[in-house]
A and B are shown apart, each in its own frame.
Chain A
């Protein structure tokens, strides 16, 4: 391993974190944005290098400060982390490239450096959760990411974001605390915080009640943070009232990172060591996933605000990810991980298009967007493309994950057929809520007050289209995410790739 390459996992976190305070001091319009975008782009390329390594079957480990694990902190990047890193840094970079005009419209110039510093901290925190191999360290990064997200969400001009973020803060803190309690109990029983080490030592304490309690705390805590139904109440308002570009970034990756922790802790540490745990995991989470899919989609059908509609759709999509995982099978996990990637593509693009609309339409209520396609045809066309991906139309990325999920539930037989029907029905529900947008934007009569509305700023539009085309590209050539997901699933199910 060459010298530079061995530092990649650390640089992934260090770069945005160290530069955050620097960005804070950069005054002047556009400077902070420029630097932040560059840092994020660097992080993206860093993630690509790591993913390329993971594709070649490599696992990166890094001893922070050269302290030997389990005493020092160990960073650990495998195929699963690589997928998440791509999602996090990709979403952040695309959002930032598109962001300048939108952010400037929403946040005063003198507060922008602080805002971008928070963005970098969120990026560092989310990446940190994914690269670290230490259970307590995950908590630390989780707090960094959360605190920075609260700032980002509340940073916009919409005062309704304040109660929303307060709710998020309370629930997020409870979730993080639950996780910490769980990790604390595990530490008491095993004497270690390093996940690999926990795996070694857990069998000695397997049947202790405190371990079982720890697992319960960790699962519920992470489910809270991941907005698993019915613990999702913080999410819709937080996404809706956040500055538009923040929604793009966070909607694409923040809940998925929590699900990542849930899946990793559970499949790596708990399931192999606790009797019947796989069954408990499935029985607890599968009904929640199924309910989340149905309820999220149903609410989205009746939602009037575009961003809230997408937010409820996200709750349904989190259900898909969780459903795949709760099948506790290799195909199920592949569908889960591939969907993390594909849903980020679709939802990121949808929120980018929404941000484009928000540049010109003062309200994102559906009825105010009547005839928007006449004014902004390109933005709306990209939104339709991403919408098709959300539904799962062949030729788009969404189809690939739906297909893996269908194969996975049918493998199960019995209950699987009911789940397959559920997936098909919920896809049809997605058709309805996407169609409502198309109906309004394409077939509504545009109001006279929008007569001067033109297309979104070209760079924002370009970013939206990069997202839309990525949905098509990864719908036809899903080799990279599918291969990463397959080796991640093998890793999680305990057979070496």
Chain B
């Protein structure tokens, strides 16, 4: 398959899959799950065919025509988008395996709708990853919001609907009220919104206006969850856990930080933005987000809410590190997307596995659960260590690069934030690890449970292995990503 048709296929295959899933759902559950898995595997294979081209320095692109003069609906694969697409499509396979265990183990209703919307969300994610310009990116960004709404409100009761309202309300208002005007602004001053290496705004926009435009983007892209537009993420935790795992640890939130990073690198241009003092506020805002979210996480008792606040902090790592505006920091931002994805999806898988097996949702209930669910809790531990940044986990690699970037830029604030937040991460994760393994069970649970369903355990074991594996085998990712950042120097 040539790269151009692979791009289009990557977006079309999940859509066709969605159709297949909704048809198969009427016939038989097993058939439906088969279609999901086949779609996920096909997608990952298609995405992987693009890899050799990218490594060789090729940038395949395909345009579906101009909508109005200057604005085209087009795709172009560069290393950053390639990585994001590979990450999301690869994890979708594992997530599908996990979903089967989770959804059946819980006897969830409307499973067909669940898998259908999931496939549409993945198609939108591919569109975001491969978008060649702001216009195309925005369309898929909105499709992703809309297609995940039924997933968040899946349960359909009053509380869930209220949370779903916060979710979709916040994401839509910020994107339409801030993101879209920012995009229109870029098109008007630069005459284009194409993602170009080195940026497109040099000489077109300068001074405080540049910092203001950056603000429109950062807060307009609500999916990046920089405070104060983070409220949707804890709200989204009412969704079934596979949704939280793939979408609110990987696809949706990474779509946010991916967009911010991509806009900083390809629209503003790292060097150009670094030279502009009015862009400095972003480090402060993200540092504040990291610390505040970590402190809030300290006080959570619900596992998924704790993970959500941890995600908010970790997302701001990415944005802060992108905002440090030095090559090492950009690499760190990109690597952290991957490292955090592996670690956080593992943690969510574990949280879901605990719920399926024991119906427990609170940290205070977890005493001694490690002995009942050793595989799950081992994976949980690995994920938590990666969040803190302990070697040998993926989290260590990305923190290394972020710190190196902060040194490069002499950015003391970023350095201090990294140190302090590492301490805070340890403060909320280590006690959990301790009670899980070393505390005695408070009371014997009503159902004398063991491990979660096999499918779920397999999935979380794989992601935990990936978390550790990323510590040792991150070379290809580094090689690929330094292609874009290298040109910046």
Contacts and interface: CB of A to CB of B under 8 A. Distances in A.
A400 B173 contact: no
Contacts of A399: 67
Given A428-B177, A442-B165, A443-B162, A394 B68 contact: no
B8 to A, nearest CB: 14
Contacts of B183: 394
B142 A431 contact: no
B176 A476 contact: no
A428 B181 CA distance: 10
Interface in A394-428: 394-395, 399-400, 403-404, 406, 410, 424, 427-428
B64 A476 contact: yes
A445 B158 contact: yes
A400 B162 contact: no
Interface string B148-180: 000000001010011011000100110011001
Contact of B68 (A431, A439, A443, A482): A482
B71 to A, nearest CB: 7
A408 to B, nearest CB: 12
B68 A478 contact: yes
B139 A394 contact: yes
Interface string B128-157: 000000010011001100100000000010
A478 B158 contact: no
B176 A393 contact: yes
B31 interface: no
Nearest to A479: B65
B181 A424 contact: yes
Interface string A366-379: 00000000100000
B188 A431 contact: no
B68 A400 contact: yes
Contacts of B139: 394-395
Interface string A475-493: 1111100100000000000
Given A442-B165, A443-B164, A391 B67 contact: no
B188 A410 contact: yes
Nearest to B188: A410
Given A394-B135, A394-B139, A445-B158, A431 B64 contact: no
Counting contact residues on chain A (CB < 8 A from B), the size range is 20 to 34
A42 interface: no
Contacts of B400: none
Given A431-B177, A445-B158, A400 B142 contact: no
A231 to B, nearest CB: 31
Interface string A217-250: 0000000000000000000000000000000000
A431 B168 CA distance: 13
A482 B161 CA distance: 41
A475 B67 contact: yes
B188 A403 contact: no
B5 to A, nearest CB: 19
Contacts of B158: 445
A435 interface: yes
B73 interface: yes
Given A400-B68, A403-B71, A476-B73, A431 B173 contact: yes
Given A394-B138, A443-B164, A443-B165, A476 B67 contact: yes
Contacts of A428: 176-177
A406 B161 contact: no
Contacts of B68: 400, 403-404, 478, 482
B184 interface: yes
B455 to A, nearest CB: 30
Interface in B231-274: none
Interface residues of B, number: 28
A478 B165 contact: no
Given A442-B165, A443-B161, A477 B176 contact: no
Q: Of B67, B156, B184, which is in contact with the most chain A CB atoms at under 10 Å from its CB?
A: B67
Contacts of B142: 388, 393-395
Contacts of B177: 428, 431
Contact of A435 (B64, B143, B169): B169
Nearest to A444: B161
Contacts of A479: 65
Nearest to A385: B146
Contacts of A445: 158
A478 B142 CA distance: 20
Contacts of B164: 443
Contact of A400 (B65, B67, B143, B172): B67
A428 B67 CA distance: 22
Nearest to A430: B176
Contacts of A442: 161, 165
A374 B160 CA distance: 14
A442 B150 CA distance: 10
Interface string B368-393: 00000000000000000000000000
Nearest to B134: A394
A394 B180 contact: yes
Contacts of A406: 184, 188
Nearest to B64: A476
A194 B178 CA distance: 51
Nearest to B187: A403
Nearest to B184: A406
Interface in B174-218: 176-177, 180-181, 183-184, 188
Interface in B376-432: none
Contacts of B181: 424
A439 B169 CA distance: 9
Contacts of A443: 161-162, 164-165
A125 to B, nearest CB: 34
Contacts of B143: 395
A377 to B, nearest CB: 9
A431 B173 CA distance: 8
Contacts of A431: 172-173, 176-177
B155 to A, nearest CB: 13
A392 to B, nearest CB: 9
Nearest to B156: A374
Contacts of B146: 384
A232 to B, nearest CB: 27
A435 B176 CA distance: 12
A476 B184 CA distance: 17
Given A431-B173, A435-B169, A393 B180 contact: yes
A301 to B, nearest CB: 15
A402 to B, nearest CB: 9
B412 to A, nearest CB: 39
B176 A478 contact: no
A477 to B, nearest CB: 7
A479 B68 CA distance: 8
5 contacts: A388-B142, A391-B176, A394-B135, A400-B68, A476-B65
Query: 4 closest A-B pairs (Cβ-Cβ)?
Result: A395-B139, A443-B165, A394-B138, A403-B68
Given A406-B188, A477-B65, 10 more contacts: A384-B146, A393-B142, A403-B184, A406-B184, A431-B176, A435-B172, A443-B165, A476-B64, A476-B65, A482-B68
